[in-house]
Structure formats: structure tokens, C-alpha cells
Structure 1
Amino acid sequence: MPRFHVDLPLSPGLETALPSGAARHVQVLRLQPGDSIVLFDGAGSDWPAQVLQMGRSEVRVRVGAPVAVERELPLAVTLAVGMPANERMDWLVEKATELGAGAIEPLLCERSVLRLSGERAEKKRLHWQAVAIAAAEQSGRARVPLVAPVTSLAHRLAADDPRELRLLLSLGDGTGPALPALQAALQSSRPLRLLSGPEGGLSPAEDLAARAAGWLPVTLGPRVLRAETAPLALLATLASLAG
């Protein structure tokens, strides 16, 4: 059944016009009055709805009773990533949403190829948020991960919460396997924050700074993974362990 995210307060029996984006998708699918769709607002429920009217630019629907949806990971996971360049960040946001990330933090690091600030950074953030919404629609999630504003790695390290379990993907010395750390995270149910660098990884100074701030360095094995692959591999391992 077609499923659409809407930035609307939903309630049983509500008759409303769909936002322009969702209405456009309904029109592209050539749905007709009487057809059924599913709406969600990101608060944790699916809302069955029925198309009432189809106009040139407006689609009106009647909303039914909410159905609670639980497809989230058993702990809150934030993915803090040095932004890869080109379309790779889009791909990372899409797949991280499918795998259950609760939030995504784009970071500016020493080796970052993609360097964003000001209006351009906010425009990119809004684009990535739209990518996350589309991925949540496709994957059946009833919650949409928040894409945070672009910030520096130094700012992220300074804002760390010691109540979180923080894992650092690292190629440095003294790095242990990721699997035991992920198993411990699931057992503790503490919020989890995963940190991964951009192309070329974190610099030695950044790696040391993260460790000094309390991040636990972990590895996924002897192979060097791409900037967009490594954090997703870690997240996929966690999702697999969670069942």
C-alpha cells in the first residue's frame, strides 16, 4: 500500500488536504477516490487513510485510526560521520535510515573533501533530511532520523555526553574488534554514538582527541573500508545482533 510521510498533526476522522509532496506522489500513482494509502508523521504510528478527492493540485483524504509501529532498534543510535563527497553522503543517509539510525550528524574533519558552511550547509542538510524521509517511507519506519546541522569534529567531541556509549571506528593502535562492544551496547541499552571519518579517515590528531574524550576505538577487520561503507557496516552488524 502506498505510504507517505506528512508534516501534519494527524487524528482519527480528520479530513485534510495532503501536503504538496505527498499529493504529487498520489497523483503520479494515479490513485482514485476510494483508494487506500498509509500516512505517518514520524511519531511512531502508521495512519491508514482513504482518498476522498483528486484535483489538479489538491488531494483530500480521510484519516483512520492509528496503528502503532515498532521497527526501531532497541537503543538510540546516532551516526556521527565525516561527510563523504558527491552522492556518497546521500547514499549513506539513505542506508543508515533503512538500518535504523535514530540521528545522523554530518561532521567537518581535517581530511574532509566536502566542506560546507552557512547557507550551503543548511541547504544540504535539508536535502539529506528529505533523503531520510524517503528512506523511512520505503523501509516502513514510523520514525524519521534527524539530520543535524553540519558541525566540526572538535565541536562534537566537546559536546559529548558521558552517559552515552561512544564507539570510534579507528585504524590506530590499541583498537579492539567491534563485535564485543556492540554486544555490550545492546545489553546495557545505553544510547550509542558511532564516529567514523571522511575519505582518508580521521587524522592521527583527531583519533587521539576522540580517544581522550572517552570514545572506545573499534575495528571491523583488516580491510580498509570506504568512508560511506564503514559506518554502515557497523550499523548493519548492530541491527543483525538486535534481530
Structure 2
Amino acid sequence: MPRFHCPVPLSAGAELDLPAAAARHVQVLRHQPGDAITLFNGEGGQWQATVLRMGRSDVAVRVDQFEAVEREPVRAVHLAMGMPANERMDWLVEKAAELGVASLQPLHTAHSVLRLNGERAQKKRDHWQSVAVAACEQCGGNRVPAVQPVADLGAWLRDSGGVAPLRCVLSLAEGSRPLAEVLRDTAADTAVLFLSGPEGGLSPQEDATARAAGFLPVTLGARVLRAETAALAALVQALS
């Protein structure tokens, strides 16, 4: 059944106009009054609903039955990444949302090609949030990962301590532990935060600063992976 993100309070029997983005999606799929759809608002679970009216730019629905469906991982996994350039960031956000990432933090780093500030940064953040929403609509996730405002790595590191008890930086430097080994020594429900670099990785100074801030250096193996591949490989290991 088609699924639509509806970030408003939902209750059985309520009749409401869908938010603009969801209404456009329903119209694009050419739904008609009487059609059954699924709504989720990101607070957990999902709602069965029925289309009541199709206007030129609005769609009215009746909220029917709540379904206590949860498809979220046992472990909350957060990802902070030096933004890869071009469409690779879109791809990374989409796939991370499909896998079940809890939040995404775009970062400026020394080797970052993509630089965003002001209104452009906000527009990109809004775009990536919409990519995450679409991924959750497709994959069945009922909790949409939050895309945080673009930040500079140094400033973000100073405030990252409360995100998760286990914080790891993906590193090729000597002394890094295999991620699989670290995860084996950690409770299955322990939240984890990964810091991953952009193309070219983190600089040696950034790697050292992350370690000094309490990040455990981990490695994914001997191969050098693309920025977006490394981030997703870490997510897969942590969410398995």
C-alpha cells in the first residue's frame, strides 16, 4: 500500500488536509477518493487512511486504524560525514535512511570539495531531509532520520559528546581497531556515532583532533573505500 509522510498529529477518525508535499505525492500517483493509503508521522507506528477528496492542490483524508509497526534497528546509529560532492551526498543520505540511520550530520572538513553557507546550506539541508523522507516512504521506515544543519568539523567535535556513548572515527591511521571487533565488545543496543571523512578522508590533524575528543579510531579493513561506501559499510556492520 502506498505510504506517505504526514508530520502532523494523527488520531483515528480525524479528517484532515495532507501537508503540501504528501498531497503532491498522492496526486502524482493519481489516487482517487476511496483509495486506501498509509500515513506515518515519524512518532512511531503507522496509520491506515482513506482518501476523501482530491482537489487541484489539496487532498483530504480520513485517518482510520493505527498499526503499531516498528522497523527500526535495535541500535541507534548516527552518522557525521564530510560531505561528498555532486550527487554522492544525495545517494548517501538515501541509502543511510533505507538502512535505518538515526540522524545525519553534514560537515565541512579540510578536504571537503562541497562548501555550503547561509541560504544555500539551508536549501541543501531541506533537500537532503526530503530525500530521507522519500527513502522512508519507500523502505517502510516509520521514523525519519533528522538531517542536522551543516557544521564545521572543529566546532561540531566540541559538542558531539552527548550524541552517543560509543563514538568512532573511520581511520586508516596506525592503531585503529577493526570495527567488527569493537562492536563485538559492545552491547547490541549501545548507540554509536560514526565520523567519516569526505573524498580524501580526514586530514591527519582532524583525525588526531577527533581522537582527542574521545573518538575511537576504527578500520573497515585493508581496502581504501570511497567516502560514501565507507560510511555505509560502517552502518551495515553496526546495524546488523
So what's the TM-score if we normalise by structure 1?
Answer: 0.94
Cα distance change on mapping 1:27 and 1:160 into 2, 3 Å: closer
Percent identity over the alignment?
A: 60
Matched with 1:168 is: 169
CA distances 1:17-45 after superposition (whole Å, capped 9, x unpaired): 11222122222222221110000101011
Residues 150-169 of structure 1: pairs in structure 2 closer than 5 A? 150-161=150-161, 164-169=165-170
Does 2:181 match 1:180? yes
Cα distance in structure 1, aligned partners of 2:219 and 2:134: 31
Does 2:211 match 1:211? yes
Q: Which letter maps to 1:106?
A: P
Confirm or deny: 8 A CA contact 2:42 2:144 kept in the other structure.
yes
Report the CA distance between 1:7 and its aligned residue: 2.1
Q: Which letter maps to 1:34?
A: G
Residues 47-86 of structure 1: pairs in structure 2 closer than 5 A? 47-86=47-86
Matched with 2:14 is: 14
Matched with 2:24 is: 24
Q: Secondary structure at the match of 1:65?
A: strand
Q: Which letter maps to 1:164?
A: P
Q: Which letter maps to 2:165?
A: E
Report the CA distance between 1:188 and its aligned residue: 5.7
Residues 103-182 of structure 1: pairs in structure 2 closer than 5 A? 103-161=103-161, 164-182=165-183
Q: Secondary structure at the match of 2:136?
A: helix
Cα distance in structure 1, aligned partners of 2:203 and 2:175: 16
Report the CA distance between 1:189 and its aligned residue: 2.7
CA distances 1:72-124 after superposition (whole Å, capped 9, x unpaired): 11122110000001111100000000111100000110110001111111111
Of 129-138 and 16-25, the range deviating more from structure 2: 16-25
Of 187-196 and 116-125, the range deviating more from structure 2: 187-196
Cα distance change on mapping 1:160 and 1:30 into 2, 3 Å: closer
Q: Secondary structure at the match of 1:38?
A: strand
Q: Which letter maps to 2:145?
A: P
Cα distance in structure 2, aligned partners of 1:155 and 1:188: 30
Confirm or deny: 8 A CA contact 2:53 2:59 kept in the other structure.
yes
Cα distance in structure 2, aligned partners of 1:166 and 1:160: 9
Report the CA distance between 1:236 and its aligned residue: 1.1
Confirm or deny: 8 A CA contact 2:77 2:239 kept in the other structure.
no
Cα distance in structure 1, aligned partners of 2:126 and 2:26: 23
Cα distance in structure 1, aligned partners of 2:95 and 2:188: 25
CA distances 1:214-237 after superposition (whole Å, capped 9, x unpaired): 111111111110111101011012
So what's the TM-score if we normalise by structure 2?
Answer: 0.96
Size of the aligned set, in residue pairs, is 239
Q: Which letter maps to 2:183?
A: L
Cα distance in structure 1, aligned partners of 2:121 and 2:27: 32
Of 32-41 and 68-77, the range deviating more from structure 2: 68-77
Cα distance in structure 1, aligned partners of 2:24 and 2:116: 31
Report the CA distance between 1:152 and its aligned residue: 1.0
Of 145-154 and 175-184, the range deviating more from structure 2: 175-184
Cα distance in structure 2, aligned partners of 1:62 and 1:96: 32
CA distances 1:121-169 after superposition (whole Å, capped 9, x unpaired): 1111111011010111111010000000011111121113266101110
Q: Secondary structure at the match of 2:185?
A: helix
CA distances 1:40-80 after superposition (whole Å, capped 9, x unpaired): 10101101001112222221111012111211111221100
Q: Secondary structure at the match of 2:184?
A: helix
